[in-house]
Amino acid sequence: MGEDSRLTAVVALAQSMAAAQNAREAWKAAATGARRALGGSFAALSVWERELGRLRVLVNVGELAEGEEEFPENESYPVHQFAEITEFLHERWAGGGEPDAWVETAEGTAAGRPGYCHQRVAALRRRGRGCCVVAPIVLHGRAWGELYVARPVGAPVFGRSDADFATVLAAVVAAGIAQTERLEEARRLAYTDALTGLANRRAVDARLDEAIERHRRDGAVVSLVVCDLNGLKRVNDTLGHAVGDRLLERFGTVLSLCGATLPGALAARLGGDEFCLLAVGPPADEVVKAADQVCRRAVELGLGDGVACGVASTGDPIGPVHSARRLFRLADAAQYRAKAQRLDHPVVAGREGPDDPVVRLADEPMGEAGHGERRRFRGRHAP
């Protein structure tokens, strides 16, 4: 490959990683771009998990051997099988060397470099590959993992220039991974409540829209628990906002613990003293049980005056739910009733017969007379 072709390959790799929407897409773009740039039949991207002492494969692309998966869940190797990770990267590099790529072949060492580990050679033979080039990935000044590209038996063996080019590609991959990590962190912050660490309103809106679409498509049960923390204003006024924040944090922990009984449930703070649990899949009765635990544990906090809880689930007789707005209004109405009646247990929409007052309250227009005492539903979910 000429210099112009290699430059084009580097630019394409950088662009494909920059266009990735998440970490998985970035990993695949890195491995795919490197495989194409080096003329390989297979490529993998792996991360060094120091705390577990292993090299874990993130993605495999190209011609996969038997047992290899694109995004493997459990493909990892103890670092003692790959001495170069600790010996080369930590000793030679720390001593002033560079984290250059190297070549291994199924016949043994190639490209004028000493081989690092017989495991590489054994793996090449086992998977029917003739040679590979391994390029360390360095991120924030530390060894992050490796880029691995292989060719089949009978194909030209990688040379020194290929190894040098792989070193350049690894640097581009490192820059792309760093960008992806920054974007992932920005997304995490954008969807996280800073005080409690729970999901925020934006995260709930996005997840609920997806959940309702799944409900419409395949009938999945979608349940929403809306909670209003009682007595927060009194705590703020008499004990100070620091204590009020502590109450919010402690209730957030309670909500998270109770939500953990519902597989995949999202615990969130909507804002102020309002929280919610969103569950997709569990039966309505299981969600009500979790909401009841929330009510009981909130009383045990010792601060505030417990919590008012409302539940709305497509598993109950609440009528068709075609939008996130309607489910939110139903849960809101149930929570409003629990608060107005000072109940210490959740109110569940649709469980009081054909003329259920919660369903009627949620579905009546906001402007009708008789709603003077009803608290205003959140703007986005008003009809």
Q: What is the pLDDT of residues 263-305, one digit of tens each?
A: 889 999 999 999 999 999 999 999 999 999 999 999 988 777 8
Task: Grade residue 191 by pLDDT with cuts at 50, 70 and 90.
Answer: confident
pLDDT reported for residue 114:
47
pLDDT, one tens digit per residue, over 195-250 is 998 999 999 999 999 999 999 999 999 999 999 999 899 998 899 999 999 999 99
Q: Is residue 269 within 8 Å of 193, Cβ to Cβ?
A: yes
pLDDT, one tens digit per residue, over 111-164 is 445 445 567 888 899 999 999 999 999 888 778 899 999 999 999 999 999 999
Alpha helix positions (H), the chain: 3-18, 23-37, 83, 118-126, 160-190, 201-218, 232-239, 241-259, 284-299, 324-340, 357-363
Average pLDDT, the chain: 86
Task: Grade residue 376 by pLDDT with cuts at 50, 70 and 90.
Answer: very low
Residue percentage of the chain with pLDDT more than 70:
87
pTM: predicted TM-score of the whole model, two decimal places: 0.59
What separation in angstroms does the CA of 182 have from each of 17, 25, 358? 13, 15, 44
Q: In this structure, are strands 129-139 and 102-105 parallel, antiparallel, or unpaired?
A: antiparallel
CA distance linking residue 59 with residue 184, whole number of Å: 18
CA distance linking residue 303 with residue 307, whole number of Å: 11
Q: Is residue 20 within 8 Å of 26, Cβ to Cβ?
A: yes
pLDDT reported for residue 355:
86
Q: How many CB atoms lie within 10 A of CB 359?
A: 24
Helix axis angle, 232-239 relative to 241-259, nearest 10°? 150
pLDDT, one tens digit per residue, over 148-159 is 999 999 999 999
pLDDT reported for residue 85:
57
pLDDT reported for residue 366:
59
